[in-house]
């Protein structure tokens, strides 16, 4: 960590904690591919700190606000943001450090029920979030829309199609994706809640963003949070796996999904496969085109 960023971290923590933490000993922590990270100890608390030499605009504020929203829902644990800055050369995010623990009995059921409870948290403004955010390093525009189909078409799938085109996705694949976007009103018909209420979702929930508290409870980290449709959450969960059948069963018991949900999840998988193509290239482009052709008509 550069001297300027270390001083910004110290100043930010002093403001947040009401006491100067003094020089901070940082212990490197792994696990991320975008930011550098470390753990440290400030007066009275253990912290997890991340920083970036090339921060994205409002990157750490967006993550902090997402964590605040998840915590306010009271459905599942999430680390508390303590202090952050997005200033060039001094960008950081300091979080409550949640030490990992072994999974307690009933962990999967608690996760399924907790997600259903989280998704019952809605926003009166509709679909979106108070500020734009990111999924990985990809911008996610979050301007409010009253209906889910328009939000997903404009702010999510259509947005990613444009980025994929700019990243070099082949023309026929782009055309198939554009047909999917044009058909979303028909493809999503039958889902509940398309005109609201919205659902607060983590937004990037794969197994690597599921943590375990010292007490063995599920804990959500690294969110791309916004108020969307609950099936969008489940699509990402299914894409990369790692969530057992007891999670899905507990979710369905707590809040049954509308008929046809399992077929619609592929549309949300498509969004995240496209995002991986934009971020990493390679075979994700062909995977996205194959998925698109299932829905393109």
* Structural element, H or E, at residue 72: helix 59-73
Q: Decide if 204 is catalytic.
A: yes
DSSP 3-state of 178: helix
Q: Collect all residues with Cβ–Cβ distance below 8 Å to 33 and sequence separation of at least 6.
A: none
Q: Alpha carbon 200 to chain centroid distance?
A: 11
Asked if 275 and 160 touch (Cβ cutoff 8 Å), the reply is yes
State the Cα–Cα distance between residues 31 and 286, nearest whole angstrom: 27
The number of beta carbons lying within 10 Å of the beta carbon of residue 54 is 9
CA distance readout (Å), 249 to 105, 191, 255 = 16, 19, 10
Catalytic residue among 20, 185, 192, 204: 204
Q: Which residues are catalytic?
A: 204
């Amino acid at each position: 960590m550069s001297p300027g960023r270390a001083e910004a971290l110290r100043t930010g923590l002093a403001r947040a904690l009401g006491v100067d933490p003094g020089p901070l000993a940082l212990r490197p922590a792994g696990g991320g591919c975008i930011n550098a990270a470390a753990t440290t100890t400030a007066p009275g608390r253990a912290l997890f700190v991340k920083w970036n030499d090339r921060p994205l605009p409002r990157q750490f504020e967006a993550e902090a606000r997402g964590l605040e929203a998840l915590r306010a829902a009271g459905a599942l644990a999430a680390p508390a943001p303590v202090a952050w800055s997005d200033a060039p050369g001094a960008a950081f995010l300091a979080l409550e450090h949640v030490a990992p623990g072994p999974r307690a009995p009933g962990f999967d059921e608690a996760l399924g029920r907790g997600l259903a409870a989280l998704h019952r948290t809605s926003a009166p403004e509709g679909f979106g979030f108070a500020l734009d955010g990111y999924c990985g390093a990809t911008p996610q525009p979050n301007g409010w829309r009253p209906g889910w189909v328009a939000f997903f078409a404009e702010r999510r799938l259509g947005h990613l199609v444009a980025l994929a085109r700019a990243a070099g996705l082949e023309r026929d694949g782009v055309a198939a994706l554009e047909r999917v976007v044009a058909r979303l009103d028909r493809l999503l018909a039958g889902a509940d809640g398309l005109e609201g209420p919205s659902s607060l979702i983590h937004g990037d929930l794969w197994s690597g963003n599921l943590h375990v508290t010292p007490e063995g409870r599920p804990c959500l980290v690294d969110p791309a949070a916004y108020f969307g449709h609950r099936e969008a959450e489940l699509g990402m969960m299914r894409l990369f796996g790692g969530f057992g059948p007891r999670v899905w069963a507990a979710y369905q018991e707590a809040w049954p999904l509308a008929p046809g949900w399992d077929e619609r999840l592929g549309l949300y998988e498509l969004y995240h496969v496209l995002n991986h193509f934009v971020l990493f290239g390679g075979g994700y482009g062909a995977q996205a085109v194959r998925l698109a052709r299932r829905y393109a008509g």
